[in-house]
Amino acid sequence: MLLELGQVHLFQHWPDPGVDDHYKKALLDQVDILNSSYPGGLSSYIKTARELLADSKAGRNPFDGFTPSVPSGEVLTFGDDKFMQYEEIGVKEVRNAAFVLVAGGLGERLGYNGIKVALPTETTTGTCFLQYYIESILALSEASFKQAQGEFRRDVPFVIMTSDDTHERTLQLLESNAYFGMKPTQIKLLKQEKVACLADNDARLALDPNNKYIIQTKPHGHGDVHALLYSSGLLKEWKDAGLRWVLFFQDTNGLLFKGIPSALGVSASKEYHVNSLAVPRKAKEASGGITKLTHTDGREMVINVEYNQLDPLLRATGHADGDSNCETGYSPYPGNINQLILELGSYIDELSKTGGAIKEFINPKYTDSTKTAFKSSTRLECMMQDYPKTLPASARVGFTVTEKWLAYAPVKNNPQDAAKVPKGNANQSATSGEMAIYRANNMILKKAGVNVDNPVMHVFNSQEVEVWARVVWKPKWAVTFADVKNKVSRNNSVSQKSTLVIKGRDIFIEDLSLDGALIVDSVDDAKVKVGGSVCNNGWIMESIDKDSSAFPEEIRTRGFKINRMEQLEKSYGEPGNFSLTS
């Protein structure tokens, strides 16, 4: 097969039989993996690569013939009637959903030594991303099944796509934490394989510079998730079990689940086959723009245009300013946060046609303008949000825009790069990601009638951030705004220096005046009223030096530590009614 595919160079340097046989066999084992893990096998990979390499050499781009324009979608405002209705519908639908986390990326921009899902979302409680995701899925499904009295309770499936870079450590994180409360059978890990590198325009496979019996490989991108789900047989299993929705999300967004219920409500109400979540986007931010593309032949699609392609596309189609803000101070194109909600039936139909293959792209770096040689080997790549590109015109493809403070604060940049982000654009660092969680929780409490102090500005790791009271709650306390409103009543106030951690489910905040740190926990059958005046020295945030070896990497990367001076900590371990009033 390899000879037919023009890959004779892989063998030309081979010594006589009997020499290095075991390396030669290993090469063929590797070929076997590369062949079986790609939809259509290596022949399909090489064919596509030749086409895309020829297009790239000729300077044809995938957007040729398309004109971009601003699409219209569902725009939500946190806390209004429509938002709350969608949340209610969305929670109901969770029992028919499966969740998929793509976590195969190394996070080169972040430069963290561990896996990204092990990073703390915030350091008040130290909850890591994976724990937050799992507890959110559990809390949402609990809320969903509660509404469906008597209905068969299934375990809402959770899939994590890993890669060789993340697989072992993800598994270890789950195992050493008892799967954060999920049943081990509820979670499936699917590992993506890397793809073969290409050495030249003829798509000759590249050999590892240090070992001529190994084909060099690189990541193929998060688009692999579709082929993996399809070939795993899980989609069919889910369909047979009556599921309707598959929700995709990424590895480091501490606000991720705040936008899920309403967006799922939008999907269900509008019967969207594809619903992408978006937030207002600042020009030049590293997030793709949701764009309507109209082709000269009449074709139309609403699709993500990746951040590195938006500016050239706009310039090539008569927008001299390229990727720039409009009069609103934002890019007119909503920013893709890569949380996708797919309707399972149409998803399976589509993947049955494509085998899970996603439209790919190639990005070779040429040595010179003749475009005959590459600086280093290249490979095909694909993105999960490109799934709609092959859909028929009849597909219902929409998107939902929510406020940025509510739904998106990823941790993607290391402190040095985050400090260079233009003022007004998101830092996307561990520092800003943590602050965004406190801000969102304060904003939500404020909307529910709590008197919260305004934030103060602080500089940590050379980034200026708003510091609000450190308010954190477990997902089981509230998954929707209606839950928050139900658990907060009368006159409450929280000062800026405060820390409020709510760990139990039935904790009711009533006439609380907090100026300090308060941590409340309770078992599920305890009902606790939290009120009165709580005043203590609290937990103070102190700047630290990001280069000081005195602190672990998780702390250095945010530029502050929490000094736990004094707190009121209460835990209710027995069922019954309790009241904390001081």
Ligand X SMILES: O=c1ccn([C@@H]2O[C@H](COP(=O)(O)OP(=O)(O)O[C@H]3OC[C@@H](O)[C@H](O)[C@H]3O)[C@@H](O)[C@H]2O)c(=O)[nH]1
Side-chain-side CA neighbours of residue 393 (13 Å): 7
Q: How far apart are the first and last CA of the chain?
A: 78
Q: Does 334 bind ligand X (CB under 6 A)?
A: no
DSSP 221-269: -TTHHHHHHHHHTHHHHHHHTT--EEEEE-S-BTTGGGSHHHHHHHHHH
CA torsion angle for 109, 114, 116, 121 (degrees, to 10)?
-110
Task: Compute the distance between CA of residue 16 and CA of residue 37 in angstroms, rounded to an integer.
Answer: 30
Stretch that binds ligand X, among 11-19, 103-111, 261-269, 448-456 (CB under 6 A): 103-111
- Whichever of 385 and 400 has its CB closer to ligand X, that residue is 385
Q: Beta strand 187-191 with 451-452: parallel, antiparallel or unpaired?
A: unpaired
- Whichever of 278 and 437 has its CB closer to ligand X, that residue is 278
| Candidate list 221, 254, 388, 433; residue touching ligand X; CB under 6 A | 221
- Whichever of 144 and 432 has its CB closer to ligand X, that residue is 432
| Candidate list 31, 49, 94, 102; residue touching ligand X; CB under 6 A | 102
Q: Does 437 bind ligand X (CB under 6 A)?
A: no
Query: Is the CB of residue 303 less than 8 Å from the CB of residue 426?
Result: no
Task: Compute the distance between CA of residue 303 and CA of residue 285 in angstroms, rounded to an integer.
Answer: 17
Task: Compute the distance between CA of residue 195 and CA of residue 189 in angstroms, rounded to an integer.
Answer: 19
Q: Does 105 bind ligand X (CB under 6 A)?
A: yes
- Whichever of 340 and 502 has its CB closer to ligand X, that residue is 340
Backbone dihedral angles phi then psi of residue 412, each to the nearest 5 degrees: -125, -20
Q: Classify 213 as helix, strand or coil.
A: strand
Q: Does 413 bind ligand X (CB under 6 A)?
A: no
Question: Amino acid letter at 571?
Answer: S
Q: Does 250 bind ligand X (CB under 6 A)?
A: yes
Query: Is the CB of residue 249 less than 8 Å from the CB of residue 98?
Result: no
Q: Classify 304 as helix, strand or coil.
A: strand
| Candidate list 338, 377, 400, 431; residue touching ligand X; CB under 6 A | 338
- Whichever of 383 and 452 has its CB closer to ligand X, that residue is 383
Q: Does 306 bind ligand X (CB under 6 A)?
A: yes
Give the total of residues touching ligand X (CB under 6 A): 22
- Whichever of 100 and 555 has its CB closer to ligand X, that residue is 100
Closest distance of CB 181 from ligand X, Å: 22
Task: Compute the distance between CA of residue 331 and CA of residue 209 in angstroms, rounded to an integer.
Answer: 43
Closest distance of CB 278 from ligand X, Å: 9
Q: Does 304 bind ligand X (CB under 6 A)?
A: yes
Query: Is the CB of residue 432 less than 8 Å from the CB of residue 414?
Result: no
- Whichever of 121 and 201 has its CB closer to ligand X, that residue is 121
Closest distance of CB 226 from ligand X, Å: 12
Q: Which residues contact 206 (CB under 8 A, 6 or more apart)?
A: 196, 197, 198, 199, 215, 216, 377
Stretch that binds ligand X, among 255-263, 281-289, 473-481, 485-493 (CB under 6 A): 281-289
Q: Which residues contact 563 (CB under 8 A, 6 or more apart)?
A: 539, 540, 541, 542
How far lies 292's CA from each of 68, 256, 278, 286, 303, in Å? 6, 25, 14, 19, 6
Q: Tokens 């030096």, residue?
A: 545
Stretch that binds ligand X, among 49-57, 205-213, 214-222, 450-458 (CB under 6 A): 214-222
Q: Does 159 bind ligand X (CB under 6 A)?
A: no
Site for ligand X in 377-396 (CB under 6 A): 383, 385
Q: Does 193 bind ligand X (CB under 6 A)?
A: no
Sign of CA dihedral 559, 336, 83, 244: negative
Q: Does 254 bind ligand X (CB under 6 A)?
A: no
Stretch that binds ligand X, among 100-108, 343-351, 480-488, 525-533 (CB under 6 A): 100-108
Q: Does 164 bind ligand X (CB under 6 A)?
A: no
Q: Does 222 bind ligand X (CB under 6 A)?
A: yes
Closest distance of CB 169 from ligand X, Å: 12
Closest distance of CB 110 from ligand X, Å: 8
Q: Does 161 bind ligand X (CB under 6 A)?
A: yes
| Candidate list 95, 258, 282, 412; residue touching ligand X; CB under 6 A | 412
Question: Amino acid letter at 462?
Answer: S
- Measured from each CB, the residue nearest to ligand X is 105
Q: Which residues bind ligand X (CB under 6 A)?
A: 102-105, 161, 163, 219-222, 250-251, 286-288, 304, 306, 336, 338, 383, 385, 412
